[in-house]
Amino acid sequence: MSFVEYSDCIQDGDVAIVYLGHESMTPVKVKRGSQTQTRYGVIRHSTDLIGQRYGSKVTCSKGGWVYVLHPTPELWTVNLPHRTQILYTTDIATITMMLELKPGSVVCESGTGSGSLSHAILRTIAPTGHLHTVEFHQQRSEKVLEEFKEHRVDHLVTVRNQDACKDGFGVTGVADAVFLDIPSPWEAVRHAKTAMKKHGGRVCSFSPCIEQVQKTCEAFSDQGFEDISSIEVLLRVHDVRTVYLPLPDFGPDPSAQIQPDSTITPPQNHASIAIKTTIPPRDVQGHTGYLTFATKPRT
Amino acid sequence: MADNVDDDSLYTIKEGDYVVLKRGDVFKAVQIQTKKKVIFEKQWFFLDNAVGQLYSTTFELAPGGILQPRKPKDPESSTDTKGAGTDNRNIQDDGKSQKLTRDDIETLKEQGLKGQEIIQQLIDNSSTFKDKTEYAQDKYIKKKKKKYENIVTILKPSCRILAMMYHGREPGKICHLRYDTLAQMLTLANIHANSKVLVFETCAGLVLGSVMERMGGFGSVIQMYPGGGPVRAGVESFGFPAHFHDTLHEFPICHLNALIAGTLDTTAKDPSADLKESDMAAEVKTEAEVKTEAEVKTEAEQKGSPEEQSMETNSVADGSLVPKKEEEEEKRREAKAQEKKVKQEEKRKKLAAAASLLEGRNADGLVIASRFNPCPVLMALLKFLSPSRPFVVYSQYKECLIECYTKLKEQGGTVNLKLTDYWLRHYQVLPNRTHPVLLMSGGGGYLLSGTTVAAERSKPAASRRDEEPAPKRQKVTEG
């Protein structure tokens, strides 16, 4: 297992995602001799996990069963331990495309936070790219590096414990893309420019408030960035349901001339029709943040 | 790609390159060919001068369709605005504010005046301009710039640019797949280097190209195609290096049943020939095993030789009677036949290679985006995925994805099913004028995504399996 390469079977030391059913999952560090409690009973790593194929069904001690899934950045995003607010897959997908990330890209990111976006970036730029990520909170930067090691992607990433607004990204003229998710991104724009390749590249800033966007756009413009564009992408999930719509009883229909003792029965009182449709979830996330993109021209 | 290379040659426009022209928000993909006229945004020009320039250079259109790299931006003071009004209470819409007539403007254009200069003329001759508010003046200039500034930027193609281009220019060709939805597909399917991905699309090759870009030439992509051959116009536009194409395989969807049933004969020459031979193939080989290359070759030779012989005898027989001219004709025909045979041989090899990749039934991802009803496509292609791998299906319509969802729930073998769509809003961000852009895209299509899991074995046909594991209801002992 690695977050950047699939493997077929579960091995000692892997991180596996245990699927408990209906959006309920939990990440498990696979360790020989270790056990994991679930609501369906105990999973014994040595016998139940190690050597099994990813995607197989594992029967727990109480007779219930779970599926064990191969980790992906998307599954990690919904399972990771939060140390900060995180970016979710909808924004991550947009960022990845609009920053033009691909294998070989060199990317700068700040802050690292809980590493939700970092894992997605690493997946996309592997095996030849590199991520320089900056996190000013020391404990968070240590924790995330530990995770990168566990997930076997640490060879693709450098974590720096510094302030991107003051000290920049620790690299000069190497980045194809820069991503900013900090409270005052406008203070880091000039550092972003320094970090980027002479030939230019793409930059993105994520901010929840429009005032932040306003200031950031001004900073981009002042630093000579081009094609500045702010967007918002929202996810809509559709719950698939069969709904039953009752048919009203209009009473006997005299115009329908039916022989007195015909075999056709009049419509029943509780007649209804079934429709396969979707309904929106009761609560939906209406706003995550504005994404501002820009291009750094050749300098 | 090396990290620190500052080599201009990597960023230089060369002849034969696939590039994207940009003006405002409008894009057009073209190939750089010298002395070839290109029409873009009601302008025609030649791309000759672009060769040797760097990507992302903006060019000005000079008379005669010649591109000239634009000098660093003139200071804004050139369209100097002296004073501005505070409101529009005294501005009358009498249609007489512009002193220049249409003919005057045409004359200015014919004189070869630059866009910037024409705009200045328009401002100078507008009686209301100085009374407009600062914001209205800004808007006026922007509008005129759009009309009179003949500039074009040449960009290096990318998934972002091409997806935006197709969505803007030819949404019908890509089943109205909006670029943000395409972005979601690539992420939900966990497309990355060193994996084996199945793609079924009728989006002009845009989806296939995007998948290939994300794989960076590492791993393999198998394009399942309907009809006579794969459509790849969109893939060309990406301008991938040659080695990317070594990772691309193709498999005709019309052979899928045979492949699943194990009756596919990869020695067949073409789909029609295959149909004729299918009976025989079924008899000879109950399991479609891909032949080793040597086997394929010898068989081809055996098949080929009788034809050649008969051709030879023909030419000899005729040659004694007919003049030389016809003999040459015969020779040419023979050469053509030979060429055709080589092509067929190549095609067969490709089919065999794709079939062998599929037969492992261990693909790492599946992406479907087509005008076909997705349900049967999904059901057939899911069989080729390893367990614990993501898949994503795009459709312009929600109803057919509801069908897929229902079918998958009945059948089992997948978890994490999600039917989604996305909402994309652009913002105008300007000092004191920030608001959402007036026009937004009404629909970007729908996605159904999920993850495969190990299929249930010997499952009663009628049993419907809930996605939720039910601890007490069933006790499963997996063999």
User: Is B453–A57 a contact, with Cβ atoms under 8 angstroms apart?
Assistant: yes
Beta bridge partners of A274: A244
Task: Pick the residue of A240, A291, A292 with the most B CBs within 10 A to test the interface with B by mutation.
Answer: A240
Q: Does B446 touch chain A (CB under 8 A)?
A: yes
Strand ranges (E), A114-193: 130-134, 157-160, 177-180
Beta bridge partners of B198: B222, B366
Question: Given this model, what pLDDT does residue B111 score?
Answer: 77
Chain A neighbours among B 80-109 (CB < 8 Å)?
A: none
Question: Given this model, what pLDDT does residue A62 score?
Answer: 83
Question: Given this model, what pLDDT does residue B441 score?
Answer: 77
Residues A244/A271, Cβ–Cβ less than 8 Å? no
Would you tell me how many other CB atoms lie within 10 Å of the CB of residue B450? Answer: 24
More confident: B303 or A114: A114
How close is the nearest chain A Cα to the Cα of B232, in Å?
20
Separation CA B313–CA B336 (nearest Å): 17
Nearest CA in chain B to A65: B469
Residue among A53, A66, A74 whose CB faces B469 most closely? A66
Residue among B6, B402, B471 whose CB faces A64 most closely? B471
Question: What is the SS3 assignment for chain B?
Answer: CCCCCCCHHHHECCCCCEEEEEECCEEEEEECCCCCEEEECCEEEECHHHCCCECCCEEEEECCCEEEECCCCCCHHHCCCCCCECCCCCCCCCCCCECCCHHHHHHHHHCCCCHHHHHHHHHHCECCHHHCEHHHHHHHHHHHHHHHCCEEEEECCCHHHHHHHHHHHCHHHHCCCCHHHHHHHHHHCCCCCCEEEEEEECCCCHHHHHHHHHHCCCEEEEEEECCCCCCCHHHHHHCCCHHHHHCEEEEEHHHHHHHHHCCCCCCCCCHHHHHHHHHHHHHHCCCCCCCCHHHHHHHHHHHHHHHHHHHHHHHHHHHCCCCHHHHHHHHHHHHHHHHHHHHHHHHHHHHHHHHHHHHCCCECEEEEECCCCHHHHHHHHHCCECCCCEEEEEECCCHHHHHHHHHHHHHCCEEEEEEEEEEEEEEECCCCCCEECCCCCCCCCEEEEEEECCCCCCCCCCCCCCCCCCCCCCCCCCC
Task: Pick the residue of B6, B11, B165, B388 with the most A CBs within 10 A to test the interface with A by mutation.
Answer: B388
Question: Given this model, what pLDDT does residue B55 score?
Answer: 94
Q: Does A229 touch chain B (CB under 8 A)?
A: yes
Token pair of B467, please?
Answer: 């996605």
How many residues are given for chain B?
479
B12, B21, B18, B8: which is closest to B244 by C-alpha?
Answer: B18
How close is the nearest chain B Cα to the Cα of A234, in Å?
5
How close is the nearest chain A Cα to the Cα of B158, in Å?
7
On average, the pLDDT of chain A sits at: 93
Q: Identify whether B24 is preceded by a cis peptide bond (ω within 30 of 0).
A: no
The ipTM is: 0.95
- pLDDT category at A10 given cuts 50, 70, 90 is very high
Chain A neighbours among B 424-443 (CB < 8 Å)?
A: 424-427, 429, 431, 434
Residues B265/B259, Cβ–Cβ less than 8 Å? no
Question: Given this model, what pLDDT does residue A7 score?
Answer: 95
Q: Does A253 touch chain B (CB under 8 A)?
A: no
> Do strands B446-452 and B414-428 pair parallel, antiparallel, or not at all (unpaired)?
antiparallel
User: Is B429–A65 a contact, with Cβ atoms under 8 angstroms apart?
Assistant: no
User: Is A104–B216 a contact, with Cβ atoms under 8 angstroms apart?
Assistant: yes
Question: Given this model, what pLDDT does residue B20 score?
Answer: 97
Question: Given this model, what pLDDT does residue A259 score?
Answer: 61
What is the pLDDT averaged over residues A135-161?
A: 97
Question: Given this model, what pLDDT does residue B352 score?
Answer: 92
User: CA triplet B320, B325, B330: central angle to 5 degrees?
Assistant: 75
Task: Pick the residue of A17, A26, A89, A97 with the most B CBs within 10 A to test the interface with B by mutation.
Answer: A97
Blockwise average pLDDT, block size 10, chain B, 479 residues: 61 95 94 93 90 92 82 53 77 82 81 78 82 84 80 95 95 96 98 98 97 97 94 94 95 93 72 44 39 42 42 44 75 90 89 92 97 97 97 97 97 96 94 87 91 73 42 43
